[in-house]
């Protein structure tokens, strides 16, 4: 009889030096899962974004940043056992806090995303609004952030990561400071 794999809970911790390659893999897998089939983003677009992500130079810089993050930035990873299955960062600005996209991979994407959010929201400054730039062309992603309490604003910008001719905008989504308390309940 085959042994059944144990279900391992998702654990969230601060990212550390040495996590860069696994984080890049998660981000790449998240892009491939989220965008290549249901949007105008092509596999070629995604491969272009990540063409240098496996170089020693890039990974060295990323690991150095994880080892000594800027004081206003926090990096989080979600793990299933020892394997990194999610990543997110926050950046505190003078007037508001920026939430980096929540990236997940593997079979437990929803669990990893929720676990990351539950940990990340603990470090949000309750005196500042929190925002995220989300892909306007991906309805599933927009709905996910709306489920966390974010609302779309009228502010948009071209997605700086995509180089193809087709216009692909990001929309600024906002979680007002008045609502941050509600996400803690």
pLDDT tens across 40-70, in order?
677 777 787 788 888 889 889 998 999 999 9
pLDDT at 71 > cutoff 50 = yes
- In the block, residue with structure tokens 């063409």: 51
Question: Is 4 a domain residue?
Answer: no
R_g (Cα) of the chain, nearest Å: 17
d(CA 116, CA 118) in angstroms, rounded, equals 5
- Indicate the number of domains in the chain: 1
Sequence-ordered strand ranges (E) for the chain? 10-14, 73-80, 83-92, 96-99, 103-104, 129-135, 151-158, 169-175
pLDDT tens for each residue of 173-185: 999 988 776 655 4
Phi, psi for residue 85 in degrees, rounded to 5: -125, 5
Residue 143 in tokens? 């709905």
Say which CATH number the domain at 102 has: 3.40.630.30
Q: What is the pLDDT of residues 4-28, one digit of tens each?
A: 455 678 999 999 999 999 999 998 8
168-184 per-residue burial string, b: 16 or more CB within 10 A, e: under 16: bebbbbbbebeebeebe
Angle between helix 20-35 and helix 56-67 axes, rounded to 10 deg: 110
Does pLDDT of 165 surpass 60? no
| Residue-number span of the structural domain to which 37 is assigned | 10-183
Question: Is 5 contained in some domain?
Answer: no
Residue 2 lies in a domain: no
| 61 closest CA partner among 104, 15, 91, 21 | 21
Structure tokens at 172: 């600024």
Cα 74 → chain centroid = 12
> Nearest-CA neighbor of 130 among 96, 102, 100?
96
With residues binned 3-state (H G I as helix, E B as strand, rest as coil), the percentages for the chain, rounded to 5, are 35, 30, 35
Is the separation of the CB atoms in 130 and 183 below 8 Å? Answer: no
Q: Is residue 82 part of a domain?
A: yes
Residue scoring higher pLDDT (32 or 79): 79
Does the pTM surpass 0.75? The reply is yes
How many Å apart are CA 57 and CA 54, to the nearest integer? Answer: 8
> Taking the mean position of all CA atoms in its chain, how far away is CA 69?
17
Is residue 174 one of the residues assigned to a domain? yes
Any domain includes 123: yes
């Amino acid at each position: 009889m085959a042994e059944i794999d144990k279900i391992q809970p998702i654990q969230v911790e601060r990212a550390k030096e040495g996590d860069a390659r696994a984080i890049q893999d998660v981000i790449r897998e998240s892009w491939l899962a989220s965008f290549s089939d249901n949007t105008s983003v092509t596999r070629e677009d995604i491969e272009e974004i990540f063409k240098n992500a496996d170089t020693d130079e890039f990974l060295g810089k990323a690991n150095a940043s994880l080892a000594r993050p800027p004081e206003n930035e926090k990096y989080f990873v979600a793990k299933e056992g020892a394997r990194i299955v999610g990543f997110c960062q926050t950046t505190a600005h003078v007037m508001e806090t920026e939430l980096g996209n929540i990236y997940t991979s593997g079979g437990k994407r929803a669990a990893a995303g929720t676990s990351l959010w539950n940990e990340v929201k603990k470090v949000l400054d309750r005196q500042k609004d929190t925002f995220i730039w989300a892909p306007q062309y991906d309805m599933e992603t927009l709905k996910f952030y709306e489920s966390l309490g974010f609302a779309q604003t009228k502010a948009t910008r071209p997605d700086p990561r995509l180089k193809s001719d087709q216009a692909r905008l990001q929309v600024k989504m906002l979680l007002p400071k008045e609502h941050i308390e509600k996400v803690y309940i």
